[in-house]
Amino acid sequence: MATEPGRDAAGAVVRIGCGAGFANDRMEPALDLVERGALDYLFFEGLAERTLAHSQRARHAQRDRGYNPTLERRIRLVLPACRARGTRIVTNMGAANPAGAAAAVLEIARELGMTGLKIGVVEGDDVSHAIGPDHRLADADCTAGAVGRQMIGANAYLGAEPIVAALDAGADIVITGRVADPSLVVAPLMHHFRWRADDWQRLGAATMIGHLLECGFQITGGYFADPGRKEVPGLARLGYPIAEVAENGDATITKLAGIGGFVTRETVLEQLLYEVHDPAAYLTPDVTADFSAAQIIEAGQDRIAVSGGNGRIRPENLKVTIGYDGGFRAEAGISYAGSGALPRARLAASVLVERMRDVHGLTEPLRTDLIGHASLHATAKAAQGIDADYRDIRLHATLCSGEERLARALVDEMEGLWIAGPAGGGGVRGQVIPTVMTRTALISREAVRPKVEILVA
Amino acid sequence: MSDMIRLSEIATARAGDKGDTSNIAVFVSRAEYWETVRAGLTPSLLARSFPDLFRGPITRYEIAHLHALNFVLENALEGGVNTSLNLDTHGKSFSYLLLDLDIPLAPLNPENRREP
């Protein structure tokens, strides 16, 4: 195995690793990353658009919950190695309850005998009190109250500054709720290099690095492989990414040797535009970042140099995600195989639609897909109209309703097709899950007051 | 009528979502085809090819030195991850919807061939 580069004692280069790119991301590669990665910082990103609304709901149900349920396991796994190596942890997995998450982590630290460990808690993103029914939405031409669903909560996207404050105060672990994902990387860099909060060029460059890392495996070979066209070595054992960042904001994206995946010009390029709209105006609370002049250059095996990230003055307002009760989503399916599978599945679909409408009184949309013929791209009509002898078809049906009764009815009706549907139907499965929906609004910075607290084990 | 080429033979793509807006970034992996893709893969081709899916405004951004095009498609996710009844609520598979498109082949001029 290749010798891993060590930490830079002079502090000219900061090594930041991503140890989770979504709420339920893989655990064990994060420990490997800490043990062999010589990291200054490790971050866990775990708050997709809707995750926080689910967390708010969990906290309403139980006051001491509402943070990522995997956080304690992750911390227990990596904390001893982080403590031994001086690697500091930053995470937004505090979700709807950063203080509750910090209390749980404090407990773990004490159990492990880590006296003196400092935990920074960043709060103030919860702006539920400030978003009234008359607040205008940014993604629909109406007010928050006109959505017509029960509001669960509202969270503003905080930036790097409160995390920097926690790191400045010596926090070994910083736990936040909603912050912009790239800020989890921008903050350690601001702290380490003492960048000013209006150094738009460096903040833009750092935001680009944070953006590249925040989805974890998506830059080390995940979401990339296409056999015959794009082969990825060791896809089952991908390693998490590392950025080595210099004071001017230039970076090298890399990964550990001896673990699966790779970092290539192509993996970096694909991730550069992931979930980006205008590449010259990527908005975060920290900066209006500009990726349009990015340079992506091979600098060795699994080493890609990125530079050219830029930025302009940060947006005046902060983005807010408002969570609403989304009703009940029901999904259910049944399969048909052999000769005539497609017409039998189509007949089953028509029976299902008729009974949901006429017997149960469903007026909301019911979608039926024929997996094996047309499903994901059925709306685009991209896979239809081909006359072939389909021999393995799954009818998949989905609805979303405010009435749990109707959601249950879909699962029951799908089961009913076993006995009362077309010949040879098998493999019925179905489930009902309570769901959330989100809307976006803007709020002035003055209305949001980030709060930083330090707990000591 | 000009010769056509399938996008998947000369490019890769990655799709992402924010709310009901999808973005599909297309990366031309064979540099000599950059002008072909730039000229042929237009918002109107996307709208024309999938009128029932891509119903909203489509904006195309270009990063020429990286041979990348980024399409931002509003109202393209059947309500988005919140309310879409599609199995693929995020539209992650849209990248391969685009890669199946055929576009007119631009003449391969010597200047194009010299590109890195």
Mean pLDDT of chain B: 91
**B14 and A270 in contact by Cβ < 8 A?**
yes
**B61 and A279 in contact by Cβ < 8 A?**
yes
| CB half-sphere exposure, A250, CA atoms < 13 A | 11
Which residue of chain A has the CA closest to B100? A382
Q: Which 8-state DSSP code applies to residue A230?
A: B
Q: Which 8-state DSSP code applies to residue A32?
A: H
> Can you tell me the distance from the alpha carbon of A42 to that of A138, in angstroms, rounded to the nearest whole number?
33
* Complex confidence, ipTM: 0.94
The pLDDT tens digits for B37-50 are 999 999 999 999 99
Q: In chain B, what are the domain boundaries? A: 4-104
Cβ under 8 Å to B: A residues 336-375: 365-367, 369, 371, 375
Q: Would you say residue B76 has pLDDT above 90?
A: yes
Q: Find which of B85, B86, B88 to mutate to test the A interface (most A CBs within 10 Å of its CB).
A: B85
Strand ranges for A73-216 from DSSP E: 88-91, 118-123, 151-156, 173-176
**B14 and A271 in contact by Cβ < 8 A?**
yes
Q: How confident is the model at residue B109 (pLDDT cuts 50, 70, 90)?
A: low
Which residue of chain B has the CA closest to A273? B25
**B81 and A272 in contact by Cβ < 8 A?**
no
Which residue of chain B has the CA closest to A276? B23
Q: Which residues contact A251 (CB under 8 A, 6 or more apart)?
A: A205, A209, A243, A244, A245, A305, A306, A307
Looking at residue A388, its pLDDT comes to 77
Looking at residue B104, its pLDDT comes to 96
> Can you tell me the distance from the alpha carbon of A166 to that of A452, in angstroms, rounded to the nearest whole number?
6
Among 2.40.50, 3.10.450, 1.25.40, 3.30.70, name the CATH number for the domain at B4-104: 3.30.70
Which residue of chain A has the CA closest to B22? A275
Nearest to A376 among B65, B81, B86 (CB): B86
Put simply, whether B35 touches A (Cβ < 8 Å) is: no
Q: How far apart are the first and last CA of chain B?
A: 29
**A277 and B78 in contact by Cβ < 8 A?**
no
Specify whether the CB–CB gap between A116 and A457 falls below 8 A.
yes
> Can you tell me the distance from the alpha carbon of A53 to that of A323, in angstroms, rounded to the nearest whole number?
5
Tell me whether strands A392-401 and A366-371 are parallel, antiparallel or unpaired. Answer: antiparallel
Tokens of A222: 């995940």
The pLDDT tens digits for A266-278 are 999 999 999 999 9
Looking at residue A10, its pLDDT comes to 76
Q: What totals of helices (H) and strands (E) does chain A contain, helices first?
A: 10, 18
Which residue of chain B has the CA closest to A272? B25
Q: How confident is the model at residue B108 (pLDDT cuts 50, 70, 90)?
A: low
Looking at residue A1, its pLDDT comes to 42
Q: How confident is the model at residue B83 (pLDDT cuts 50, 70, 90)?
A: confident
| Domains assigned to chain A | 13-125+158-316+446-456 (no CATH), 326-436 (3.30.70)
Question: Which residues of chain B lie closer than 8 angstroms to A266, CB-CB?
Answer: 12, 27, 29
Looking at residue A9, its pLDDT comes to 72
Alpha-carbon radius of gyration of chain A: 24
Question: Which residues of chain A lie closer than 8 angstroms to B88, CB-CB?
Answer: 376
Low-confidence ranges of chain A (pLDDT < 50): 1-3
Looking at residue B114, its pLDDT comes to 46
| Region of poorest pLDDT, from A331-335, B15-19, B51-55, B109-113 | B109-113
A335 vs B112, which has greater pLDDT?
A335
Alpha-helix runs per DSSP H in A194-250: 200-213
Question: Which residues of chain A lie closer than 8 angstroms to B56, CB-CB?
Answer: none
> Can you tell me the distance from the alpha carbon of A282 to that of A208, in angstroms, rounded to the nearest whole number?
9
> Can you tell me the distance from the alpha carbon of B70 to that of A383, in angstroms, rounded to the nearest whole number?
24
Chain A nearest-CA distance from B23, in A, is 6
